Chains A and B, each alone.
Chain A
Amino acid sequence: NAGVMQNPRHLVRRRGQEARLRCSPMKGHSHVYWYRQLPEEGLKFMVYLQKENIIDESGMPKERFSAEFPKEGPSILRIQQVVRGDSAAYFCASSPRTGGYQETQYFGPGTRLLVL
């Protein structure tokens, strides 16, 4: 049973380019969460998605950032016109959401974005 998969693992972009990060949740999981980790910091919640729905994007910057989780395919976190401050590790997590007031979120290996 493969875990949460993210690609690419490392991504280098120049300022002004677009970054596209992909996340495939664990098999059977229909809920995806994106977090960002700046150097020497803990993870910060960005967005929570279900298939074809954004449930909570309160942690995502209002501009340049967008996320989707289509009916088919991986979840995508898209950063347009990247700036140096976007350099960070971006982690995706998934959960089955079968019930209960919280479930464990299983994290992927992360994508490390470096903006030159």
Chain B
Amino acid sequence: SQQGEEDPQALSIQEGENATMNCSYKTSINNLQWYRQNSGRGLVHLILIRSNEREKHSGRLRVTLDTSKKSSSLLITASRAADTASYFCATDLGGSNYKLTFGKGTLLTVNP
């Protein structure tokens, strides 16, 4: 398996519902980041959580990190149609503070 694998691969919800995406990784990390990518576009940085942090909030986003389970989750509350995108978690390979490893992403579709 790859470092930084998102689950589920695809998620479809109705506007107003919450969306939860998970990410698992295998080696030790310094931190973990979540990015959003709209179809055919570049990546937009959402949030960075350091290995000594357990939870972080940014607007409607809530990220948790469990280093004992080597997993993270991204929660988007009160979803909007504009949240439709692919979401990627990216980890630094332990020891590297710049080489990000991405999973294949979760494709989130928010239906109006």
Contacts and interface: CB of A to CB of B under 8 A. Distances in A.
Sorting the interface of chain A by its residue count into under 10, 10 to 19, 20 to 34 or 35 or more gives: 20 to 34
B103 A42 contact: yes
Contact of B97 (A93, A101, A108): A101
A10 to B, nearest CB: 10
A43 interface: yes
A35 B43 CA distance: 11
Interface centre among A42, A44, A55 (most CB of B within 10 A): A42
Interface in A50-88: 55-56, 58-59
Contacts of A93: 43
Contacts of B4: 42
A29 to B, nearest CB: 13
Contact of B99 (A41, A45, A101): A45
B99 A48 contact: yes
A102 interface: yes
Nearest to A107: B43
Given A93-B43, A107-B44, 20 more contacts: A33-B98, A42-B2, A42-B102, A42-B103, A42-B104, A43-B43, A44-B102, A56-B98, A59-B99, A102-B30, A102-B92, A102-B97, A102-B98, A104-B45, A104-B48, A107-B42, A107-B45, A108-B42, A109-B42, A110-B42
The 5 nearest A-B residue pairs measured at CB:
A42-B102, A109-B42, A107-B43, A43-B102, A102-B97
22 contacts: A31-B98, A42-B101, A42-B103, A43-B100, A56-B98, A56-B99, A58-B99, A59-B99, A91-B43, A93-B43, A101-B31, A101-B97, A102-B30, A102-B48, A102-B92, A102-B97, A104-B33, A105-B45, A105-B98, A108-B42, A109-B41, A109-B42
Interface of B: 2, 4, 30-31, 33, 35, 40-45, 48, 88, 90, 92, 97-105
